[in-house]
Chain A
Amino acid sequence: MAVSAKARSSAFLERASVEARFHDVDPVYAETRDIRTLGFVLFLLADCILFSSFIFAYLYLRTSAPVWPPVVDGKQIEHLDVAFGAMNSIVLFGSGVTMHFALESWKNLKKAAFNFWIVLTIALGLGFLSGQAHEYLSAPMTWTGSSFGASFFTLTGLHGFHVFAGVVFLTVLAIQANRGVYTGSKYFGLVAGTLYWHFVDVIWVLLFFLFYLW
């Protein structure tokens, strides 16, 4: 789906003419959209703090532990399965890419393409969640066993909850888009959904590194 710059600019011109024909661009909307975008980005920043607090807790406990991964009942917990983690991460990053295509196709007023990509994104999101469920079932430690389990399950659980909320968010967006709530020029909901989805990907980049690769 790589689009060359020239093709992109023609699409841009075409879209601008479409918007002009629509005449429904309310002058206030540009203002409202900027306000909502700033509000949503600040919300994502606040969410970052939530994860960084738990990451601080994980780092604090890990650096003050005599040995890592910690010993429980005389046995040292073995490391997490990196291969499965890598595959699961790719599923989530893939859904980030497909979501980006979804928004691009909506901007280019290709509703069919939008539906295809957003459904694919939701599917990949659910795939990641099932991967996480498998990871939890086969995890070498329990939530209450040690500080490693406490940090791992709390952080990835919180992230999993955010992914689940994202899937619900995207499903609602897909339904609303098809119901015509969003037009060619007024689609802030979709922008917010994409930003949120990319945010959830980036949080996983950090968690993947902290728990699997370090």
Chain B
Amino acid sequence: MDVAAHPVEQHEAHDHIHPAPTGFIQKYVFSIDHKVIAIQYFVTGLLFMLIAGSFAELMRIQLWNPKGTFMDYHTFNQMFTMHGTVMVWLVLIPLVTGSLGNLVMPLQIGARDVAFPWLNMLSFWLIPVSGLILFSAFLLPDGAPAAGWTEYPPISIQQGTGGIFYCLAIIVVGISSTLTGLNFLVTIFKMRAPGMTWTRMPLFTWATFATALINLFATVALSAALLALLFAQAFNVPFFDPARGGSPILYQHMFWFYSHPAVYIFILPAFGVISEVLPTFARKTIFGYKMIAFSSLAIAILGFAVWAHHMFPSGIAPWLQIPFMILTYLIGIPTGIKIFSWMATLWGGRIQFTTPMMYALAFLGTFSFGGITGVYLACVPVDFHEHGSYFVVAHFHYVVGGGAVAAFFAGFYYWFPKATGRMLSEKMGHLSFWLFMIGLTGTFMPMHWLGLEGMPRRYASYEVFAKAFPDAVFWNRFESLSSSLMVLSVLLVAINIIVSLRSGRRAGNNPWGARTLEWMISSPAPYYNFKKIPIVLDKPYDFTQPLPYRNLDDEHQDPYPVPSEAALPRGATAAVGA
């Protein structure tokens, strides 16, 4: 494929390079460079993950004793509310879209930065502001919001001013993720390298595109719901007060209209990471590129039409349950296509067990299992039993913990060398992987049968349930112990970062021998990313073909990139061509 076959007009419009940022503030604090912003998102996200994770640990300690004597009920209620709220809005969405999306997407499409760099910086700085508002709720007389991360009225508006802080904080983070969605959409629409048509885009960029669609259109519905909740609590506006014509179910509709697409905001970039990691470490082209790309879009669009499966036993009209059940089943099909395509990608490859690959392989197992328990909850009669029980908690921790967080760690270990120029320690990586997976299974697998036996969710003490099912005490203690393994795993990630930043091996341009554009430039990349905007001739994934790029910065780029010794597990390489 030589250049003549693809007449591509030269986009000189991209070629101008802004002057370099000067001074510490402009470089690291108020930077408009998408790579620096990605690192800021990551550090903030990890910090909030540690805090929200410790809330979860406190809950596990409380549940050690069925009488629940460790903390009083109201504190426990604040713990599970803040654990959920912080994990959803200040950890997962910022990490998955803000950190990975910001770092990788502009590089993969061959752009110098996102469409609106200032807006990108604003989007990041709204996250700490939102965190400040949310955590200052602990200082209120009635404490933090305590009605679950869903904050259903009327209870959420009867429980002290914590609810108002919740609404303000989440509207602020909502503005941030709406603007990020808008920024990414315009970037992907308008600023792709010449020649990169829609079917030549890397799959992580496809996933970021589908996520940006959801981010832009769903998040504002949440802002509306929370604005209504704020008015209801602060100014006694009767949206949700049945005595004055309102309806509590209305809030649930408005809330879940956003919150189900929100769970696809977590999982779509995770799918994108898996679609990048598997081909690189199986040294084999992705199987079914078009099906995976279109499945991302199908999931994003279908995600808008299924929200009421969270509300089956909440009093909505019985006939309304059927369409939502059927649409939720339909989402299983594109998800299934993705998982089977990934399995087919593994077939016939040369698989290296680096840490990102370990997380990606485990993702296939845990996420599929989480997806299947999701089908149970989508089925209305079975949901009548499982709604509001620990089965739901098990399902979404498998999909979010075993799915989104595991895939995020895969992306983190995969792109850390590109962001910092240093390799992470594989030994610590594998150890934290096994700790995470064993901890996840030990903590959340027992919740399935605890839920089926009838242990309700959000209970600070379960004496009555423990009397009916004595084995519940053992399983709850088993979970509490296993959850400490997950804490160790996340701490080990932090240690790995600190150690590697100081003394990690140098990662060249392309330690893993990957083929997407971000590996064609130096690590860490200069602020302008590409001296010359590359020209793209084909999909990047076929390892038997030379690299489909022209006009690369590095004249002597090896057309068949191979993993560097630094990346391969010890003793796994021999001289080239031997």
A145 to B247 Cα, complex, angstroms: 14
Number of A-B contacts (CB under 8 A): 105
Q: Which of A45, A46, A56 has most chain B Cβ within 10 Å?
A: A46
Indicate the size class of the contact surface on chain A.
Answer: 35 or more
Minimum Cβ distance to chain A for residue B123 (Å): 13
The yes or no answer to B52 lying at the interface (CB within 8 A) is no
Q: Which of A41-58 contact B (CB under 8 A)?
A: 42-43, 45-47, 49-50, 53-54, 56-57
Contact of A143 among B217, B220, B227, B237 (CB under 8 A): B237
A148 to B244 Cα, complex, angstroms: 10
- Specify which chain B residues have a CB less than 8 angstroms from the CB of A171 in the assembled complex: none
Write out, one digit per residue, whether chain A residues 2-39 have a CB within 8 A of any chain B CB (1) or not (0): 00000000000000000000000001101100110011
Minimum Cβ distance to chain B for residue A71 (Å): 9
Minimum Cβ distance to chain A for residue B296 (Å): 19
What's the tally of chain B residues with a CB closer than 8 Å to chain A?
Answer: 40
The yes or no answer to B250 lying at the interface (CB within 8 A) is yes
The yes or no answer to B488 lying at the interface (CB within 8 A) is no
A38 touches B239 (CB 8 A): no
Given contacts A28-B16, A53-B221, A146-B245, contact A61 B237 (CB under 8 A): no
Write out, one digit per residue, whether chain B residues 209-242 have a CB within 8 A of any chain A CB (1) or not (0): 0000000111111011101100100011111000
- Specify which chain A residues have a CB less than 8 angstroms from the CB of B182 in the assembled complex: 39, 42-43, 46
The yes or no answer to A65 lying at the interface (CB within 8 A) is yes
B238 touches A144 (CB 8 A): yes
A70 to B246 Cα, complex, angstroms: 11
A150 to B232 Cα, complex, angstroms: 9
Contact of A50 among B116, B183, B224 (CB under 8 A): B224
A151's closest neighbor in chain B, by CB? B239
The yes or no answer to B510 lying at the interface (CB within 8 A) is no
Apart from the given pairs A27-B12, A49-B221, A54-B228, 17 other A-B contacts in the complex at a CB distance below 8 Å: A28-B16, A39-B119, A46-B217, A49-B224, A50-B220, A54-B224, A60-B247, A61-B245, A61-B247, A72-B244, A144-B244, A147-B239, A150-B231, A150-B238, A150-B246, A151-B239, A153-B237
- Specify which chain A residues have a CB less than 8 angstroms from the CB of B178 in the assembled complex: 46
Minimum Cβ distance to chain B for residue A145 (Å): 7
B178's closest neighbor in chain A, by CB? A46
The yes or no answer to B47 lying at the interface (CB within 8 A) is no
Q: Which of A65, A72, A150 has most chain B Cβ within 10 Å?
A: A150
Minimum Cβ distance to chain A for residue B283 (Å): 37
24 pairs, A vs B, C-beta closer than 8 Å: A27-B13, A28-B16, A31-B14, A35-B186, A42-B182, A42-B185, A46-B182, A49-B224, A50-B220, A50-B221, A53-B257, A56-B253, A56-B254, A57-B224, A57-B228, A57-B239, A61-B245, A143-B237, A145-B238, A146-B238, A147-B238, A147-B244, A151-B239, A154-B228
Minimum Cβ distance to chain A for residue B275 (Å): 25
- Specify which chain A residues have a CB less than 8 angstroms from the CB of B244 in the assembled complex: 72, 144-147
The yes or no answer to A138 lying at the interface (CB within 8 A) is no
- Specify which chain A residues have a CB less than 8 angstroms from the CB of B16 in the assembled complex: 28
Write out, one digit per residue, whether chain A residues 68-81 have a CB within 8 A of any chain B CB (1) or not (0): 00101000000000
Given contacts A45-B217, A60-B253, contact A50 B228 (CB under 8 A): no
A57 touches B250 (CB 8 A): yes
- Specify which chain A residues have a CB less than 8 angstroms from the CB of B115 in the assembled complex: 35, 39
B257's closest neighbor in chain A, by CB? A53
Given contacts A46-B217, A146-B245, contact A35 B191 (CB under 8 A): yes
Contact of B216 among A30, A46, A148 (CB under 8 A): A46
A149 to B191 Cα, complex, angstroms: 46
A34 to B189 Cα, complex, angstroms: 11
Q: Which of B478-533 contact A (CB under 8 A)?
A: none
A53 to B115 Cα, complex, angstroms: 28
The yes or no answer to B570 lying at the interface (CB within 8 A) is no
A54 to B16 Cα, complex, angstroms: 44
A2 to B50 Cα, complex, angstroms: 65
- Specify which chain B residues have a CB less than 8 angstroms from the CB of A149 in the assembled complex: 238
A65 to B217 Cα, complex, angstroms: 29
Given contacts A46-B182, A146-B245, contact A53 B224 (CB under 8 A): yes
A49 touches B220 (CB 8 A): yes
